[in-house]
Chains A and B, each alone.
Chain A
Amino acid sequence: MSEWRGISVFIEQDNGELERASLEVLTRAGELGRKFNEEVLGILLGHETDNLVKEASRYGADKLIVVDHPDLRHYNSDAYTEVVSYIINKYRPRYLLLPATRNSRDLAGRLAVRFRACLSAHVIMVDIDEKDRKLVTAVPGFGGNIVATVVCTGGKPEMATVSPGTYEARVSDKEATVIKETIPADLVGRRRIELVEKSVSPMPDLSRAERVVVAGLGTGGDLELIKEFANLIGAAVGVTRPLADMGIVPRDYQIGTTGVSLRAKVAFVFGASGAPHFVYGIRDCGTIVAVNTDREAPIFENCDYCVVADLFDILKALIKELGGGK
């Protein structure tokens, strides 16, 4: 059998929607590929993928392997595991990187056991060791306070899921060579999971928003003024974990270690105390404004402008000054 070589990246799509986080991972793989002289393979599964292929081939991959099949239009844990396993067995990439999204984490967990391979999850840094070429990652644990350096000690491909927002997606001047793979017919037919119904609404891409307004527990879940203010300044809205726990908004809007990391130029944080797992998610923001009634709140250690006041009073004043409101 041939040697395990190259860096592969799973490019996630669902029903024709490309997951931007996979392009971030692909860009990073491109950097590593150049540095270590490894070929970069994108793996894209879907149906009627022409537009996706065009987009995905611009982010630094050498080859883009495309499997187009009607049954792959939607993510399916069983079908995707089988098809990606088939591709891995055929191309034998030494590394496999995936975005740390729900579907890719689902897939990664299955593949790791199938290949008896190492998997580092939800990493905030991915690199290759200069000496032994092992995959090295940084994994935040214990609520974002502590980061562990994790190396792969066994199994191939060496895998990691990369936290969305960790790297920036950059268009490359190199275009990937597209390889259309056909798969054995029974590969997707053996699945035990069938889609019954699906409902999605467009999601603002929080990790790429220039301005973000974050609501914390101090809002008590009342997001009316937050949304009005965000609208006025053209900002996206995010929440802290307790608010997502309350079920007020979907978890996709949660900022922090297990949610989205922001790269906004300006972030407003209303009524969040500043737990480490949250602060972690705003670490890459430009200017941070925090409003909290408690002068001792740790959020004030981690922001640029601190306002000790009732957040609703400040929101109302901001809205008024910006010419909004009724």
Chain B
Amino acid sequence: MVALKNIIVTMKVTPKPEEIRFDPITKTVDRSKATNEINPADKNALELALQLKEKYGGKVIILSMGPPFWDQFIKMGIAMGADDAVLVSDRALGGSDAFVTSKVLAAAIKKIGDYSLVITGEESEDGSTGQVPPGIAEWLGIPAVTYVSQIVDVTEDSIIVRRTIKGGYEVVKVKLPAVLSVELGVNTPRFPDFERLQWAQSEFKLTIWGIKDLGLTEDEVGFKGSLTAVTELRELRPRERLRQFIEGSPEEIARELIKRLGLK
């Protein structure tokens, strides 16, 4: 029987995109009024990790990088069934791009150690770069399989997974340890156990690391360490359309549309 070691699941908290307001005068984004939620694909990643643990053992550890208030969302992950969690939180991390994020997460993964798998969501709802998972793998010097939809099998030193590609899928066998990025919506994340949540809220002790704990300096992270910079934000306004209402019975509407669009 194969036994997995640590299964590290990365988790981000993202504001609901539709609730973000843009101020055209100051050209800034106001996230403060938006509701936050666990990044949707990260819930799929955690579900996949928990299913793996149920079948092949191991310890599921949530790893997150963000402000201290994310603690409440991480506890939701604990209530879903994760065993432990680490939050990398440091003021110096503000403004970090995907390059820095992958570096910091990789450093934390090394510090946690003894891992078989790092499982992430395919991308985050707010940044949508999708480059953090392969980036982590590169920092750690391990392989990555992106857009994973299913675990096929785990063998002595490898894992066999199905990944989505254009127009279909491929099944690949990859040596452990490895990074897997999980496609959004490939499973139904279990709903947290609220009794466990109550326990997590009162008893669970979240591990919090600053950048010093990871052996990183302020120059390596945040705006300073980033290789990209945002110089301007603007709102994307779709172009003006006719917006003409067509009324009548379905048949009349259909005839009118066919005529106007020259479909026949």
Contacts and interface: CB of A to CB of B under 8 A. Distances in A.
| Chains A and B touch (C-beta atoms under 8 A apart) | yes
Interface of A: 14, 19, 74-75, 77-78, 81, 101-103, 105-110, 112-114, 116-122, 140-155, 191-203, 233, 244-247, 250-252, 257-258, 266, 275-277, 279-280, 283, 287-289, 300-310, 313-314, 316-318, 320-322
Interface string B208-240: 000000000000000000111111111110110
Nearest to B234: A147
A150 B231 contact: yes
A288 to B, nearest CB: 7
B35 to A, nearest CB: 13
Interface residues of B, number: 82
A101 B172 contact: no
Given A277-B17, A307-B246, 12 more contacts: A103-B166, A119-B98, A146-B20, A146-B29, A147-B236, A149-B233, A193-B173, A195-B171, A258-B123, A289-B257, A306-B245, A318-B257
Contacts of B145: 77, 193
B17 to A, nearest CB: 3
Interface stretch (B67-75, B126-134, B190-198): B126-134
B251 A317 contact: yes
A109 B147 CA distance: 13
Q: Kindly list the 7 A-B residue pairs having the minimum CB-CB distance in the complex, ordered from nearest.
A: A143-B17, A109-B134, A200-B168, A109-B131, A121-B129, A118-B227, A317-B254
At the interface, is chain B mostly helix, strand, loop or mixed? mixed
Nearest to A289: B257
A77 B99 contact: no
Interface stretch (B52-60, B81-89, B107-115, B135-143): B135-143
A122 B129 contact: yes
B258 A322 contact: yes
A200 B166 contact: yes
Nearest to A242: B185
13 contacts: A77-B134, A114-B138, A121-B98, A141-B127, A142-B126, A145-B17, A193-B172, A196-B173, A200-B165, A200-B168, A257-B128, A317-B254, A321-B255
A283 B238 contact: yes
B21 to A, nearest CB: 9
B166 A19 contact: yes
B166 A317 contact: no
Interface of B: 15, 17-18, 20, 22, 29, 97-99, 102-103, 123, 125-135, 137-139, 142-147, 160, 164-175, 178, 183-186, 226-236, 238-239, 241-247, 249-251, 253-255, 257-258, 260-261, 263-264
B244 A304 contact: yes
Specify the main secondary structure of chain A where it touches its partner.
Answer: mixed
Contacts of A19: 166
Contacts of B103: 113
A195 B175 CA distance: 12
Contacts of A320: 251, 254
Contact of B228 (A150, A201, A247): A150
A151 B227 CA distance: 9
A150 B229 contact: yes
B243 A145 contact: no
A237 B193 CA distance: 40
Contact of B135 (A101, A112, A148, A304): A112
